[in-house]
Amino acid sequence: MPNATELRYLERCVELAAEALAAGDEPFGSVLVADDGSVLAEDRNRVAGGDHTRHPEFELARWAAENLSPAERATATVYTSGEHCPMCSAAHAWVGLGPIVYAASTEQLSAWLAEFGVAPGPVAALPIQAIAPNVPVSGPFPELTDRIYALHRELHRPA
């Protein structure tokens, strides 16, 4: 159960995911929060242009590397609508960011995509802790499952 503060950041992630979907991108959104609770940066998925590395978690890791000290990174939390993929988990760990709080898990997303008949992507659907074992992780949070499921259902709705 997320506390009220965590839920507020996760709800912002879901809003960003909805913005991404409305713009033709995949529905994922993420927020980087400092240890004092201030929002440092946020982004959404931007893969529609053809670059499938444009995940928000990857963008936030790069933003953190450019803009935060190692100490600031270590105490910053990434909230995200969907659990980091292996690429983003690695980026998160390499730049030394702190905890990850995600709303929906990779396991959930994989099951949904299978349900929708979507072929698996080119990267293994591994959980964060298989890639970045020292990063504190929490999620999934069932309070948000239905909304996130609906966004992915919309993306893969048959024409």
Binding interface with Zn ion (CB under 5 A): 55, 85, 87-88
Compute the least distance from the CB of residue 85 to Zn ion, in Å.
3
Q: Which has the closest alpha carbon to 59: 51, 9, 129?
A: 51
Sign of CA dihedral 64, 38, 84, 119: negative
- Select 78 or 144, whichever has its Cβ closest to Zn ion: 78
* Angstrom distance (rounded) from CA 62 to CA 104: 23
Compute the least distance from the CB of residue 41 to Zn ion, in Å.
16
- Select 46 or 55, whichever has its Cβ closest to Zn ion: 55
Compute the least distance from the CB of residue 36 to Zn ion, in Å.
27
- Select 71 or 111, whichever has its Cβ closest to Zn ion: 111
Compute the least distance from the CB of residue 71 to Zn ion, in Å.
25
- Per the rule left: phi > 0, alpha: psi between -120 and 50, beta: everything else, 97 is beta
**C-alpha separations of 105 from 85, 132, 142, 156 in Å:** 10, 15, 10, 18
Q: How many CB atoms lie within 10 A of CB 64?
A: 24
- Select 5 or 84, whichever has its Cβ closest to Zn ion: 84
Q: Which has the closest alpha carbon to 60: 106, 28, 37, 25?
A: 28
Compute the least distance from the CB of residue 28 to Zn ion, in Å.
8
- Select 34 or 87, whichever has its Cβ closest to Zn ion: 87
